[in-house]
Amino acid sequence: MNSKDSLKRNPKVVVVGAGIAGVGAAGKLLEQGFTDVQIIEASSQPGGRIRSSQFGKSLVAEGAQYVHGASMKNPIYQLVKEHDLLQQVYNNSDTEWSVLTNTQKQLDPNFTEEMGKVASGILKRAHLLAQEKGYTQAKSLADVYLEEVKMFLAQCSGDHVDLRRQKLGLLSMSMKWQCIHLATNGLADVSLREYEEYKNIDGGDRNAPELFPSLLQKLLEVVPKEKLLLEKPAKQIQWNRSFESEDGSLYPVRVLCEDGDQILADHVIVTISLGCLKANNQSLFEPSLPEHRLQAIQNMGFGTMNKIYLEYETPFWDENIDIIGLVWEDETPLSGQKPNLVEWWRRVPVVYVFKPTERYGHVLVGTISGKEAEFVESLSPEEVATNFTTLFRQFTGRPSVPGPKSVFVTKWFSNPYTRGSYSHISINSTADMIDMLAEPLPEAIEGTSPMLQVLFAGEATHRSYHSTTHGALLSGWREAERLINHYSIK
């Protein structure tokens, strides 16, 4: 190893977390000649937010399921091609919708398509406004959304009251759907000024329910088995010290594990979720993180999005349909998004038909975000089944709609090793805070070479692609590259 650094031995790197960021970082280091790399993972399996579970006839994605940007600009898509996994990525360009209302109407597809364009036009204008900058005060995405909704409604003042209700219901559905993409309680939580920081990758979204675990296995091929320790939660990362090992070598960092083990290291790459950082930042680092970082971690946005899988003996829906939209004609986006735990199911704007049917059987999956997504984790499968059966009977007008034979609800909020689903740029934060979180510790002092004791990766540390698998993977590679450059062993 041709080291720029004055270290006399092979640097010892500990990676905390075996999600796609941690496995990606460890793999790159091992490929580039680092030999002393150890991943410690709290759960009993690697993958983190890309894990799958057995449900019905097959494995279903608890977390990531879509490739956001099916083009070679996306590192996930590059890996898909490289590992010949394209057969696991479906082309969902011709999605068939069936939009139902709580008053048992099936809305005309041309009308719903038109309203879909209105809703996405509103968001596009929010993007444009965000680019204009010049705000003197913090504005949220909701501020602009609601202004635009009012302008749209003013143009429709001649509408019959029923049509107006349907339009408002459709816009509400679309707003709830946006909240799911952002894992938020409401658009009022999201900073308009910073909304443009998230970048879409060309190629559209592709459904890939089983891709991510396969991809993880490919990434793990370069990680020898003994370098991944499972059920090994880190309790505390002690840094900026000098710890002596049994052979007399000195290390600046020590990782204390929940089971009492202590692992010494030259560098630790922390990839745990922003939710866990928020919950544990007082005790996780010793010395504590600098105050401005603690503030940033508290202010950055991290919310919950859950999936609700429902398996049926026989379908009650038309099998050509891909998505069932649920429109409440008594809702309006103008009243804001207050949590409603009593009728939590109102926060499920759409239900996907899980396809291909030959593989998965008759399975529907609903998505939900916000406080209601947290609340649904506390319900029994029987309660969820009953609530959905009532909902579907109401919307179809058919009392014969059967109950599901099994139900599975993901629990990202109560999972102690995620504490939520993914990040967004909240009204209280800025994209610069993301960059701050990604800065290694100790923080760089001008004119001195960085020590890179504690490095940070994970989806919430990627300025442009936070909340995604590609953002997480790129952040892991970024921190690996940082160490590779540090030791000049490219």
Q: Write out the binding residues for ligand FAD, residues 230-259 only, by CB under 6 A.
A: 233-234
Per CB under 6 A, the list member of 13, 14, 15, 18 interacting with ligand FAD is: 18
Residues 416-435 that bind ligand FAD (CB under 6 A): 417-418, 421-422
Number of chain positions touching ligand FAD (CB under 6 A): 39
Q: Is residue 19 a contact residue for ligand FAD (CB under 6 A)? A: yes
Closer CB to ligand FAD, 415 or 429, in the complex = 415
Q: Is 354 in the site for ligand FAD (CB under 6 A)?
A: no
- Compute the least distance from the CB of residue 284 to ligand FAD, in Å: 7
Which residues ranging from 32 to 91 are in contact with ligand FAD (CB under 6 A)?
A: 40-43, 48-50, 63-66, 68
Per residue, the 3-state secondary structure of the chain, as one string, reads CCCCCCCCCCCCEEEECCEHHHHHHHHHHHHCCCCCEEEECCCCCCEHHHCEEEECCEEEECCCCEEECCCCCCHHHHHHHHCCCHHHCECCCCCCEEEEECCCCECCHHHHHHHHHHHHHHHHHHHHHHHHCCCCCCCEHHHHHHHHHHHHHHHCCCCCHHHHHHHHHHHHHHHHHHHHHHCCCCHHHEEHHHHCCCCCCCCCEEECCCHHHHHHHHHHCCCCHHHEECCCCEEEEECCCCEECCCCCEECEEEEECCCCEEEECEEEECCCHHHHHHHHHHHEECCCCHHHHHHHHHCEEECEEEEEEEECCCCCCCCCCEEEEECCCCCHHHCCCCCCCCHHHHCCEEEECCCHHHHCEEEEEEEEHHHHHHHCCCCHHHHHHHHHHHHHHHHCCCCCCCCCEEEECCCCCCCCCCCCEEECECCCCHHHHHHHHCCECCCCCCCCCCCCEEECCHHHCCCCCCCHHHHHHHHHHHHHHHHHHHCCC
Q: Contact between 206 and ligand FAD (CB under 6 A)?
A: no
* Least Cβ distance, residue 488 to ligand FAD (angstroms): 27
User: Shortest distance, CB of residue 50 to ligand FAD, whole angstroms?
Assistant: 5
Please tell me whether residue 474 binds ligand FAD under the rule CB under 6 A: no
CA-to-CA distance for 309 and 342, rounded, in angstroms?
20
* Near ligand FAD by CB under 6 A: residue from 14, 16, 180, 407: 16
**Site membership for ligand FAD, residue 307 (CB under 6 A):** yes
Nearest distance in Å: CB 369, ligand FAD: 9
Residue closer to ligand FAD (CB basis): 139 or 462: 462
C-beta of 101 vs 207, nearer to ligand FAD: 207
We find the least distance from the C-beta atom of residue 40 to ligand FAD, in angstroms, to be 5
* Shortest distance (Å) from residue 111 CB to ligand FAD: 28
The nearer residue to ligand FAD, 95 or 449, going by C-beta atoms, is: 95
Work out the number of other CB atoms within 10 angstroms of the CB of residue 3.
14
Beta carbon of residue 135, minimum distance to ligand FAD (angstroms, whole number): 28
Provide, rounded to whole angstroms, the least separation between the CB of residue 191 and ligand FAD: 19
Stretch that binds ligand FAD, among 6-14, 77-85, 109-117, 468-476 (CB under 6 A): 468-476
Cα–Cα dist 490/486, whole Å: 10
Q: Which of 98, 101, 238, 271 binds ligand FAD (CB under 6 A)?
A: 271
Is residue 193 near ligand FAD by the rule CB under 6 A?
no
Q: Is residue 22 at the binding interface for ligand FAD, with CB under 6 A as the rule?
A: yes
CB closer to ligand FAD out of 233 and 290: 233
* Contact positions vs ligand FAD (CB under 6 A): 16-22, 40-43, 48-50, 63-66, 68, 233-234, 271-273, 276, 305, 307, 410, 412, 417-418, 421-422, 458-459, 467-469, 472
